Structure 1
Amino acid sequence: MKFKILFVVLLTAGAVYYIYPPKEKINLGLDLQGGIHMVLQVEMKDAMKAELDNSKSNLERILKDEKVDVKQVKANPEQLKIMVTGVSEDKVEKTEKIFDDYMSRFNVSDDGAGDYTLSFKGAEVKEIRKQAMRQALITIHNRVDAYGVSEPIIQRQGLESNRIVVELPGLDDPTRVKKSLSEPGWLEWRLLAAPNSFKSKEDILAANNGKIPDGTAIFPSEPSANGGIVWYLVKDRVELNGNDIKTARRSSDQFGSPTVAFTLNQAGVSKFSRVTTEHRGERLAIILDKKVVSAPSINEPINTPNAQITGHFTIDESEDLAIKLRSGALPAKMTFLEERTVGPSLGRDSIRKGVRSTMMGLIIVMGFMLFYYKAAGINADLALILNMLYLLGGMAYFHATLTLPGIAGFILTIGMAVDANVLIFERIKEELRNGKTPKSAIDAGFAKAMSAVLDGNITTLIAALFLFQYGTGPVKGFAVTLSLGIVASLFTAIYVSRWFFDLRLAVSLNIKKLSI
């Protein structure tokens, strides 16, 4: 008996400790404190194209390192193929060995006359899509976390879709975060194909007989302070990218203007050293999200890991860029399919109505239990109050988020909690009618009602766990509250309620009649 008393007291004290103060300990969901709800779609075509371009660049580098001269290595993003043309007859065997050793993700077809076509294998396409979704989820998590959003929800919508649900409760500046999530954060270093910038794309075409030279691309610059832009002709080959960066942070130059300082990893240092050594005197464009931030000249080999990106940044823009570089690039463009904003006043109104509904339900149920089961109803009501306390304590302990459907889960828990008591009390009444003593009736009532109580609650718990696993947003909030409520109900109905009966019997050893 003493052990039971100590256990219940400690558990109750622990619940109070984790709950108080509730404004700090109970996390409120989007629908209760306001915020933004978004559904984003990962554009898989972009992810496939990026992977294809990366494979093409790697193949070009390997062919150059192995001294295999070819006429052209060209990517076809529409058909997800790489075309290699003009392999000399004496290099065919070596080229095919390179394909076997380094391009195992591709099916290789020999088109004759030294031409080859490489296309992604079916399994690789599935793997790229899978990795793109995984990277998108991780990157969005990292970017949102950097803004200090409390208890965000970021998860895939469905098992096989390319959509991501993002819920950011209590967000003060949704525009800035939306901008951060919509920009891929692609950072690339490419050599300029023409030494100078151009005033327009037409000027570039005019300087090249009306067409873009093979192996090159046209990119605009970031807008200058007066809003003007220039255009650059750059080579297709990516010398370095954001994956070569170890860390990045907001900094400033000698004039106090915002910049982004970054540190390259070991592979990045090696690549940067090779590029600046082999292409001394040329210009290297720094491209962020398809815009040239700057294009400095390479004056000497650079072997250090530390560098910085300068441009026409505000403090917020430089901080956002550093966040994107630290969190990694998104694998593809993100399209906003849905966006809803919930104001904090609507959330407060929902809390007020939810609390009122819960209290009304609690009072009605407690009143019924007192009316129908007399003194035993006090037992059930005390267990019900402890049930609510343990439920809130469990939510605070596990850092669960309370949503509007979660409040509905609270109300449902009230009914389920007394349902167990009803089953047990009716069994006890039946045993008393059969002539058993109060102690024997209590023992038999709990024993015979146990299977029904467990069956009903465990089957509901299984359903709640499925809702938690496959549900999103509010559905998940309901599942969390319901699951914790079921566990708390089982404990209070089976353990705490029985303890109250034992306490009553211990106080009156020769009790002849139960008020039930």
Structure 2
Amino acid sequence: MLNRFPLWKNLMVIFTIAIGALYALPNIYGEDPAVQISGTRGHEANETTLADVQNLLADNRLNTKSIVLENGSILARFQNTNDQLLAKDKIVEKLGTGYSVALNLAPATPAWLSSIGGSPMKWGLDLRGGVRFLMEVDMNTALSKRQEQLQDSIKTELRKEKIQYAGVQNGENYSSVVTLVNPEQRFQALQLLRKSHPNLTVTDTNENTISLSLSDAALIEARDSAIEQNLNILRKRVGELGVSEAVIQRQGAERIVVELPGIQDTARAKEILGATATLEFRLVNTNVTPEAMRRNIVPSDTEIQYQQDGTPVALFKKSMLGGEHIINSSAGIDNQTGGTQVSVTLDAEGGDIMSQITKLNLKKPMATLYVEYKDSGKKDANGKVILEKHAEVISVATIQGRFGSNFQITGSGTMAEAQNLSVLLRSGALIAPIQIVEERTVGPSLGAQNVEQGLKAGLWGLAIVILFCLAYYKLFGLIASLALCANMILVVGLMSLLPGATLTMPGIAGIILSVGMSVDANVLIFERIKEEIRNGRPIQQAINEGYNGAWTSIFDANLTTILTSIVLYAVGTGPVKGFAITLSLGVAISMFTAITGTRMLVNWIYGGKRVEKLSI
């Protein structure tokens, strides 16, 4: 029988729209203005801190919707942004610099909805407000570090082949100069170095000197590699901050842009993103006496570093293992001493290296060196900030046995310090230090204005389209309008579900554009039905031919739009991606609602019965 859907198809349409409505529901509840309080290095938010904050808010008559302590962080929700901003100022004044007090927007989704994965759409920086960092990568440090690694490798290779050298020194433009003891070994050394380092330019400047330098192409490749690796590490660190809709992209040759929607305070973000912390595992030179360290008389392969209490430790300069091999870490309590510890997991290569180190150095002390780069307050000739290397010995322990990929580090200070160190190690050490050259805070008022204007435009557009459909197509126009509303619900629900989808101002434009394109499919179907009736077809056959005949045209038109959106998403960045996502989703969903959805309603009203006239 014409124009009758089987039961399963009716249930499929109803179920799909119901699921879309369920996951679009969290957007109705919105978000609460909140203040988040986290301990910085040396401090930790605890029950005492919570009580102090509660008393402070009560004394200033600042009512909260809720205030909870979870995972060492306090989250206080407020009724409005005025209370939020005032509370933040009062809390900063009370707690001082020992805590990071950040403005936040916390979802107000009910617990039952959150338990099934319901969450509101992620908003971009232009709608939600937040912070934008422009970071510059210190390429000089990256290339110098690469130069040091190359020289260590050269020394090892020459010793292995029994080629005597007087020294390996730095040359111009990050080149390395090898001075041989025996000029007769020059040809052997050239062959060895050219074979071992095919990407370097190896030349002999005189009879006992060999130079290894980076070509222009290799220099560009090294810079690009440093940028890309830093980008990947920053993405991991942003994940630790819990900002999944962040924008992280390269800008120019040596800069990176990071946009964090929803974060109005830069303290915590700067602390995690800008940190260049890593660990180095070095052996302690036990032959250096305390008197020699006091007078700074140490061998050339040794340097003096200090523990947190100022105690000097003589360490070999060569790092046995670096933080680049760390793949996971977590903070906890040492059951034996009651102090804090950081559990570290190494990759396969790092585990093998650590196993060999501990095997060969049993009963010898090994130090864990915490290294980071900080702003020196000085600038070079080009106006760039000069970063200084700061190091601190966080533990010195005697190697009691052979161990591999999993071990614990003690002596990392308070739990807050241990957790911070764990986050930085887990997300990876930056290949090259970065400095924030520009930071900009976007207030939530701009986002609210954009959202209000976007919603007004969308509602006006929707209202005009619905009025047109009702006036021109009557009952069929009502059916098209219902399908249009279902289309909007499904778009919002799917945008809320997709982990990488972010709503931006251009994204709102994409949704509004898809409204018109959704109705366009119904216009094609309805006009085809009217044409079939004018050609003398029976009503039921005209409805059937209208839907079947218009399908090819609708599919071709929408497919080209979706392909264009895919290209926009692939080559575009930031807001362009937002427009491409909402447009492609809206168009794809419109093919379901405008064809299957409206036909289900038409079948309910007209299917399987004798009809003399259509309201179209």
Give the alignment's TM-score, normalised by structure 2.
0.69
User: Match of 1:332, SS?
Assistant: coil
User: Match of 2:429, SS?
Assistant: coil
**1:153 equivalent in structure 2:** 246
Which shifted more, 286-295 or 474-483? 286-295
The residue correspondences of 1:72-151 to structure 2 (distance < 5 A) are: 72-76=167-171, 79-89=173-183, 91-92=185-186, 94-121=188-215, 124-147=218-241, 149-151=242-244
Contact residue 285 and residue 292 of structure 1 kept, 8 A: no
Distance 1:379 1:298, change over 3 A: closer
**2:583 equivalent in structure 1:** 482
1:266 aligns with 2:351: yes
Give the letter for the 2:202 counterpart. Answer: V
Give the letter for the 1:13 counterpart. Answer: A
**1:248 equivalent in structure 2:** 329
C-alpha deviation, 1:110, in angstroms: 1.8
1:18 aligns with 2:23: yes
**1:367 equivalent in structure 2:** 467
Q: How many angstroms apart in 2 are the aligned matches of 1:63 and 1:165? A: 43
Contact residue 390 and residue 488 of structure 1 kept, 8 A: yes
Q: How many angstroms apart in 2 are the aligned matches of 1:500 and 1:163? A: 55
Q: Which of residues 394, 401, 418 is equivalent to 2:494?
A: 394
Q: How many angstroms apart in 2 are the aligned matches of 1:115 and 1:478? A: 59
Q: Which of residues 434, 440, 449 is equivalent to 1:340?
A: 440
Q: How many angstroms apart in 1 are the aligned matches of 2:192 and 2:284? A: 28
C-alpha deviation, 1:337, in angstroms: 4.7
C-alpha deviation, 1:315, in angstroms: 3.9
Q: Deviations over 1:333-377 (max 9, x none)?
A: 223354333345554554455444433322222122101211221
The residue correspondences of 1:68-467 to structure 2 (distance < 5 A) are: 68-76=163-171, 79-89=173-183, 91-92=185-186, 94-121=188-215, 124-147=218-241, 149-157=242-250, 162-171=254-263, 174-189=266-281, 195=288, 237-245=318-326, 247-251=328-332, 260-262=342-344, 265-270=350-355, 272-273=357-358, 276=361, 286-289=369-372, 290-294=389-393, 303-305=402-404, 306=407, 308=409, 310=411, 313=413, 315-344=415-444, 346-348=446-448, 350-399=450-499, 400-467=501-568
Give the letter for the 1:16 counterpart. Answer: A
Q: Deviations over 1:216-248 (max 9, x none)?
A: 8x88868x67xxx89999765433311344543
**1:28 equivalent in structure 2:** 122
Q: How many angstroms apart in 1 are the aligned matches of 2:187 and 2:402? A: 36
Contact residue 151 and residue 401 of structure 1 kept, 8 A: no
Q: Deviations over 1:146-187 (max 9, x none)?
A: 23x1423344347x8554343333347631222221122243
Q: Deviations over 1:394-445 (max 9, x none)?
A: 2233233333332222222211111222233233334434444433443444
C-alpha deviation, 1:384, in angstroms: 0.7
Which shifted more, 164-173 or 362-371? 164-173
Contact residue 40 and residue 335 of structure 1 kept, 8 A: yes
Give the letter for the 2:358 counterpart. Answer: S
Q: How many angstroms apart in 1 are the aligned matches of 2:415 and 2:396? A: 26
Contact residue 157 and residue 472 of structure 1 kept, 8 A: no
User: Match of 1:374, SS?
Assistant: helix
Give the letter for the 1:59 counterpart. Answer: I
Distance 1:115 1:295, change over 3 A: farther
User: Match of 1:367, SS?
Assistant: helix
C-alpha deviation, 1:489, in angstroms: 1.2
Contact residue 239 and residue 271 of structure 1 kept, 8 A: no
Q: How many angstroms apart in 2 are the aligned matches of 1:301 and 1:122? A: 48
Contact residue 276 and residue 430 of structure 2 kept, 8 A: yes
Contact residue 270 and residue 303 of structure 1 kept, 8 A: yes
Q: How many angstroms apart in 2 are the aligned matches of 1:37 and 1:187? A: 29
Contact residue 153 and residue 473 of structure 1 kept, 8 A: no
**1:9 equivalent in structure 2:** 14
Give the letter for the 1:359 counterpart. Answer: L
1:57 aligns with 2:152: yes
Structure with the higher strand share, 1 or 2: 2
Task: Structure 1 unaligned segments of length 5 or more: list them.
Answer: none
Contact residue 87 and residue 115 of structure 1 kept, 8 A: no
Q: How many angstroms apart in 1 are the aligned matches of 2:329 and 2:537? A: 77
Q: How many angstroms apart in 2 are the aligned matches of 1:275 and 1:392? A: 61
C-alpha deviation, 1:498, in angstroms: 3.2
Distance 1:136 1:196, change over 3 A: farther
C-alpha deviation, 1:249, in angstroms: 3.2
User: Match of 1:132, SS?
Assistant: helix
Task: Structure 2 unaligned segments of length 5 or more: list them.
Answer: 28-108, 110-117, 373-388
C-alpha deviation, 1:109, in angstroms: 0.9
Distance 1:255 1:20, change over 3 A: same
Give the letter for the 1:250 counterpart. Answer: A
Which shifted more, 122-131 or 468-477? 122-131
Distance 1:343 1:419, change over 3 A: same
C-alpha deviation, 1:119, in angstroms: 1.7
Distance 1:192 1:68, change over 3 A: farther
